[in-house]
């Protein structure tokens, strides 16, 4: 942790500024130590260069979700960075939020001074933003994934990684020009509530983008819930074994007939298989679905309603079989050229 991070942080419990109480410096950064609020009431650990700014009221289910993703990122540290996944996932990410390519993303970010990636995982999107903006990029995650992300990205001078709960962030209100939350809100206790809590950190002219799971067929939803009653109670190792079986079955059916595999996948059971990914990535996609206590699904109308209720204007609304991606802004924001390219993609 660079000491310059203290300039931006506040205590997530009392809102007071934080100061460095103890520290162990390694290679020019605070590797271990503690932070305290100026009232001296709340204290937080610095672990492997990352401030751990979690409050005391994290529930057991939230802890389970944090542990699941901490285990996942620790066992697959190249997820989203390897050649087998990076180009495909980046293209998909840029398309679903309406940028289309890195050049247009760079134009979007040019006047964004404060950027937040909420639920950043290993920091793949943090890296994408940081390399295309002069602004400061903060990556926050409730899991130990931020420790891995910190080691990967600490060479970037405009990046800070923090372990925190996205619903109780260590920042002042109305702080960010852009908040991104990709594939994370649906792993919180309540997706809509978490979205509303994120909004308190968005500036008046700011934009926020989210991706959440979309509800599938009635049969698929029923089977998912029935299976998840058991898989969420498994150990991490046992659920990896189960997810591996799902991937092997998906590959076997896909080798026979891709259309059959997709029909089973969308209408019966999440036996995911994608030839664009390596084997372990296919396994992890099923693990994401079956192991966390929270994996909520929503309709496009629900998600559109959240933006409408919050008084946000939608700039890009994308619906795929897997999820709903939205980017919107507070009224009064300056409309950029890409607003002319606003589109809605409907399910096939």
Q: Tell me, what's the pLDDT at 84?
A: 65
> Do 282 and 322 sit in the same domain of this protein?
no
Do 316 and 207 have their domain in common? yes
61, pLDDT greater than 50: yes
Residues 238 and 262 in one domain: yes
d(CA 239, CA 290): 8
* Co-location of 209 and 316 in the same domain: yes
pLDDT at residue 332, rounded to an integer: 61
Structural domain containing residue 332: 99-214+309-343
pLDDT for the residue 150 = 95
Q: What is the pLDDT of residue 334?
A: 45
Give per-residue burial for 116-155: e unless 16+ CB within 10 Å, then b. Answer: bbbbbbbbbbbbbbbebbebbbbbbbbbbbbbbbbbbbbe
| Residues 127, 241 within the same domain | no
- Check whether residue 180 and residue 118 sit in a common domain: yes
Residues 182 and 107 in one domain: yes
Look at residue 341 in the predicted model and tell me its pLDDT.
42
**Residue that the structure tokens 């404060």 belong to:** 114
Residue 39 DSSP label = T
Residue 104 counted as domain residue: yes
Identify whether residues 188 and 329 lie together within a single domain.
yes
- pLDDT of 166 over the 80 cut: yes
Do 122 and 204 fall within a single domain? yes
107 lies in the same domain as 202: yes
Residue 36 lies in a domain: no
Residue in the structure block whose two tokens are 């672990």: 47
CATH, residue 170? 3.40.50.150
- Tokens representing 209 are 């983008």
Residues 229 and 259 in one domain: yes
* Helix, strand, coil fractions of the chain, as percent rounded to 5: 40, 25, 35
Residue 321 located in a structural domain: yes
- Position 132 in a domain: yes
Count up the domains in the chain and report the number.
2
Is 273 found in the same domain as 191?
no
Contacts of 113 (CB under 8 A, 6+ apart): 135, 136, 177
In a domain, 149, yes or no: yes
pTM, entire model: 0.91
Residue 110 within a domain: yes
């Amino acid at each position: 942790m660079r000491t310059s991070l203290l300039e931006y942080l506040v205590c997530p419990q009392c809102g007071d500024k934080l100061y460095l109480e103890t520290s162990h410096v390694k290679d020019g950064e605070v590797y271990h130590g503690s932070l305290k609020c100026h009232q001296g009431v709340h204290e937080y650990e610095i672990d492997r260069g990352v401030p751990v700014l979690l409050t005391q009221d994290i529930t057991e289910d939230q802890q389970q979700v944090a542990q699941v993703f901490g285990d996942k990122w620790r066992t697959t540290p190249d997820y989203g960075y390897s050649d087998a996944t990076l180009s495909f996932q980046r293209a998909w990410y840029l398309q679903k939020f309406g940028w289309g390519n890195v050049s247009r993303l760079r134009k979007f970010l040019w006047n964004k001074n404060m950027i937040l990636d909420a639920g950043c995982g290993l920091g793949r999107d943090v890296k994408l933003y940081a390399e295309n903006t002069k602004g400061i990029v903060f990556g926050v995650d409730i899991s130990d994934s931020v420790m891995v992300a910190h080691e990967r990205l600490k060479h970037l001078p405009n990046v800070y990684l923090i372990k925190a709960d996205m619903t109780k962030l260590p920042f002042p209100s109305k702080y960010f020009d852009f908040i991104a939350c990709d594939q994370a809100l649906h792993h919180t206790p309540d997706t809509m509530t978490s979205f509303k809590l994120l909004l308190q950190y968005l500036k008046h002219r700011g934009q926020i983008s989210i991706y959440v799971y979309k509800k599938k067929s009635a049969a698929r939803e029923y089977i998912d819930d029935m299976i998840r009653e058991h898989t969420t109670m498994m150990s991490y190792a046992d659920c990896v074994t189960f997810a591996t079986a799902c991937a092997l079955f998906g590959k076997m059916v896909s080798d026979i007939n891709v259309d059959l595999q997709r029909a089973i996948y969308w209408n019966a059971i999440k036996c995911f298989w994608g030839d664009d990914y390596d084997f372990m990535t296919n396994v992890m996609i099923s693990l994401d679905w079956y192991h966390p206590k929270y994996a909520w699904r929503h309709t496009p109308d629900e998600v559109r309603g959240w933006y409408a209720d919050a008084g946000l204007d939608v700039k890009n609304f994308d619906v795929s079989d897997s999820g709903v991606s939205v980017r919107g802004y507070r009224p009064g924001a300056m409309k950029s050229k890409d607003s002319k390219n606003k589109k809605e993609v409907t399910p096939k």
